[in-house]
Chains A and B, each alone.
Chain A
Amino acid sequence: MKVSHSEVRRIANLARLRVEEDEVSRLSEEMSRILEFAETIRELDTEGIEPTTHVIELTDVWREDEPRRGLERARVLENAPHDDGACFVTPRIG
């Protein structure tokens, strides 16, 4: 499976990653190689096999509807790149 340059750009756009033009061909090549390698799994017959998301048997994990103290706003905003003391501040959206 060859990952084309335009596909690299499309995927990078989905992932919100700036990829410089000169990286595109390297990435296309690397991704193609890795995917080619990964594709060996398709030689197996997996018809009727259940996919595994969790390896251990776990179901019905609940939490009761009881409020608990969260975090102090000031402590959280300490890490914010930009804030106004109450909210996170970002450049305008789009």
Chain B
Amino acid sequence: MARDTAAEPFPFLLREIASGLAQGLFSPKEITAHYRERIDRYDGDLGCFLHVAEVSGDTDTSECAPLHGAPIALKDLLVTSDMPTTCASRILEGYRPPYDATAVKRLREAGACFLGKLNMDEFAMGSSNENSAFHPCRNPWDRDRVPGGSSGGSAAAVAARLVPASLGSDTGGSIRQPASFCGVTGLKPTYGRVSRYGLVAFASSLDQIGPLTIDAADAAFLLEILAGHDPLDSTSASVPVPRFTETLDGEINGTRVGIPKEYFSEGLEEDVRERVEEALRLLEGEGADLVEVSLPHTRYAVPVYYIVAPAEASSNLARFDGVRYGLRKEEETMMESFFSTRGAGFGPEVKRRILLGTYALSSGYYDAYYKTALKVRTLIQRDFLEAFRSVDVIATPTSPTPAFRAGERLDDPIKMYLSDVFTISVNLAGLPAISIPCGFVKRGKALEERKNGDAEEEAMQGGADLPVGLQLIGKPFDEAGILRVADAYQRRTDYHLRVPEAFS
């Protein structure tokens, strides 16, 4: 109903919007106004945006291919020269970067029109978007639940069709887990595929920028723009960028899909498992070979991550000292001011991780924690390389549960950390992975406390349909491989096209 009712409705897929703009079916101004209207109408309730851009529509991007002025929004961890960048943190409130991230620059040059900056967990630390210093973001499928995190705003905005596509970042699952919770498509490219220049660093060896879109073909479309070597990022790879969109032919006959048994064990909720298994059977029905594989060090991924990521973060966040930008709490001396500024500017989760990371790097603990973690990281990476000797892609659930209730895991950091149990090892191994919607499960709205595995009882109470995500993991730099399977699946299903009722 939010569509333009007067004339032809606007298309909602990014590449269709871009081609509509290219053909002059509608103007950048019109399409932008359309989304702006939806944002004005819905976002007060959802809280996806931290900043909505002043879009005049005067800047003519229609000549810029391939986006021709199509609207996109950005996770507020990407620096932008024309919009504030806060990382959802008090310490950067009001900060206006003097430069654009490479990913932002590439989108701009491709003709993107930026609608604004999206909500997230502070400095990308969190799995529920509840760590935003400004306001929480709600899940469009059930507003009592979290959209996932840390790219919660990026996922929820696409799910509610407040934007056709967005950028997020993924350090331990921060694109895929919210994509799964919100029923959208979320791609984390291979480490090094997309330049990190201008992405405010959380954990430099794990961070990667990626698109959140309605379908895999739009993810491929955006990846073509974003990918490629950047001389400003030493860790961006000089490997050729294929035309991802052209490899999507819907054909998966003979594709070998690995099923790691470790990902279908305890902690995985029963109906989530069912949806994932249904998806796998569908792939099998289309000619894919399902092969059981083993990733024996899976259970160490979360512990390794909670040493490596905080260690790097503790150093990456040292620059927020109140000297050059951001918050400063004035004191008699700068040494005092460091303590006050950082004490007041960072939220509890960020502080917790800075302390953890500082501890893991401090003298006497470095070998026991940090160095050992890096060694186990090697073992985790080897597991994948071994498995990929016999399969083309690996399929797993994206998250063991659907979106959980706001507040439910706030008091239990470890439980919160385990939300990412299926996504973290992918970052540790640097692999590409995509989460795509593969069905829905019902969860009660009014239940006080949900007992683990009691999904059926809730279903009987009636309640919300919550999306479930299927994760496809690829070989290094084989985004084409996972996009192809994801696209083939989406050609045969319509889960990704469903919109929460309130927003359709």
Residues of A that sit less than 8 Å from B by CB: 3, 7-8, 11-12, 14-19, 27, 30-31, 33-35, 37-42, 44, 46, 49-56, 58, 61, 63, 71-72, 75-76, 78-82, 88, 90-94
Contacts and interface: CB of A to CB of B under 8 A. Distances in A.
A27 B355 contact: yes
Interface of B: 95-96, 98-99, 190-192, 205, 231, 234-235, 237, 297, 299-300, 302-304, 306-307, 314, 318, 321-328, 330-340, 342-344, 346, 351-352, 354-356, 358-359, 362, 368-369, 371-379, 381, 413-414, 417, 428-430, 476
Given A58-B234, A71-B98, 7 more contacts: A15-B354, A40-B303, A41-B303, A49-B379, A79-B95, A88-B323, A91-B332
B414 A41 contact: no
Contacts of B343: 17-19
Contact of A91 (B234, B318, B331): B331
B372 A46 contact: yes
Contacts, number: 171
Contact of B352 (A7, A31, A76): A31
Nearest to A55: B430
Contact of B359 (A35, A56, A58, A90): A35
B386 to A, nearest CB: 15
Contact of B376 (A3, A46, A54, A90): A46
A80 B324 contact: yes
Given A42-B368, A44-B300, A71 B99 contact: yes
B342 A58 contact: no
Contacts of B318: 15-16
Contacts of B231: 63
Nearest to A50: B378
B168 to A, nearest CB: 20
DSSP class of B's interface residues: helix, strand, loop or mixed?
A: helix
A55 to B, nearest CB: 3
B355 A11 contact: yes
A81 B322 contact: yes
A71 B352 CA distance: 34
Contact of A76 (B98, B191, B335): B98
Contacts of A42: 368, 372
B303 A12 contact: no
A55 B332 CA distance: 45
3 nearest interchain CB pairs?
A55-B430, A18-B343, A51-B374
A33 B235 CA distance: 34
A2 to B, nearest CB: 12
Nearest to A64: B231
A38 B237 contact: no
A37 B96 contact: no
B381 to A, nearest CB: 6
Nearest to B346: A17
Contacts of A34: 306, 352, 356, 413-414, 417
